[in-house]
Homo-oligomer: A and B are copies of this chain.
Amino acid sequence: MGGDHGPSVTVPAAVSFLAAEAGANLILVGKSDAIQAELQKLRAVDHPRLSVVNASEVVTMDDPLEVALRRKKDSSMRVAINLVKGGRAQACVSAGNTGALMAVSRYVLKTLPGVDRPAICTILPNQKDGPTYMLDLGANVDCEPQHLHQFALMGSALVSAMEGKAKPTVGLLNIGEEDIKGNDLVKRTAQLLRLDHERGILNFYGNVEGNDIFEGTTDIVVCDGFVGNVVLKASEGVGRFVKNALTTEFRRNPLNMLGALIARGAITAFSRRMNPSRYNGASLLGLRGLVFKSHGGENAYGYEFAIRRAYEAVHHDVLSRISKSIAELMPQPTPASQGLEAMPQPQLTENKTA
């Protein structure tokens, strides 16, 4: 029911995905009437690998977390996550309110042992033609070093599972490569990551800068949710800006239009590669269940990528592999985070005037 378009996007995406993946089964959760109406349009009411579970309520984009958590107990979001909790579904995909999805997921599924805070992880394209995994993208806006440390461990486990890399590289997003660069949070985080690197637990590359995300310098880029969210949206903004500028120039006169027509193969391939829908589907990482978030504004083409992301995570047994990695990498309690929590919390608010 979620996102800007609801069943008019999610249902066609689901039907299309089932046509592409013969091994997949989907449960559509939401208001039966609305879902059935969409299925009828697509002549898919009796699809053998598709079922519908009714949920009478919908969490809106404006609903406070309180409403999503305590009041709308029969929301499509809640019912879908309950299906994961109960083992009837292996993953949940939603285009709904991100904050509510995280809160309900966390409340219903709980976090994995050793994980204080789940994080949102997505993939971004890079110049090496591979994915860069980046987290957190907005679930945690005020972070402590131990949280970024956990994000690094979770990201590492995810990439191991999804990409088959035994020791994926982890970069810490900073404003320079040198150890002395950065704010208090990243400097303290780097110490924890270096310790893990020395112990052979993490493949910590060191600090990376904003451009490294798209250069593919490391497999994983770790940052707090404020920075990650702003960077992600700014990158999308640059992408749209570039696309519009290119379209304007090609339409400026008949000669340019002719050139564009002749080179339409290049332009189509380029547009396809730059299409953010292809990277749709962020993982809510650190929960005892698989939950994926689609961008709210996506069309059916983009929403299908989010379903695919979830399907592949199930296929690669991501949940048990992450749980196992986290248990191995982050024995309870970890010496690092124990040490940090026992220490008096240093103030980030010191007034540096030098």
Residues of A within 8 A of B (CB): 116-117, 125-127, 138, 141-142, 144, 173-175, 182-184, 186, 209-215, 223, 225-227, 229-242, 244-246, 249-250, 252-253, 255-267, 269-270, 273-274, 345-353
Contacts and interface: CB of A to CB of B under 8 A. Distances in A.
Contact of A116 (B144, B237, B353): B353
A71 B35 CA distance: 73
Contacts of A226: 175, 182-183, 186, 227
A352 B233 CA distance: 25
Contact of A229 (B138, B210, B229): B210
Contact of A263 (B239, B259, B348): B259
Contacts of A245: 270, 273-274
B242 A242 contact: yes
Contacts of A249: 265-267, 269-270, 273
Contacts of A256: 262-263, 265-266
20 contacts: A138-B175, A142-B183, A142-B348, A142-B350, A210-B231, A210-B236, A211-B236, A214-B234, A214-B238, A215-B237, A231-B231, A234-B235, A238-B238, A239-B242, A250-B263, A260-B266, A345-B347, A345-B349, A346-B349, A347-B347
The 6 closest A-B pairs by CB, nearest first: A259-B263, A210-B233, A210-B234, A211-B237, A259-B262, A214-B237
Name the residue among A174, A214, A225, A257 with the largest chain B CB count within 10 angstroms. Answer: A214
A253 B183 CA distance: 47
A240 B125 CA distance: 12
B127 A244 contact: yes
A57 B323 CA distance: 57
Contact of A237 (B175, B213, B257): B213
A262 to B, nearest CB: 3
A261 B209 CA distance: 36
Contacts of A239: 238, 242
Given A182-B226, A183-B226, A349 B347 contact: yes
Contacts of A351: 144, 345
Given A175-B229, A347-B348, A264 B270 contact: no
A261 B263 CA distance: 9
A23 B214 CA distance: 42
Contacts of A348: 142, 347-349
Nearest to A146: B351
Given A175-B229, A249-B273, A347-B347, 6 more contacts: A175-B230, A242-B242, A246-B246, A246-B266, A256-B263, A348-B349
A262 B259 CA distance: 5
Contact of A142 (B184, B215, B236, B250): B184
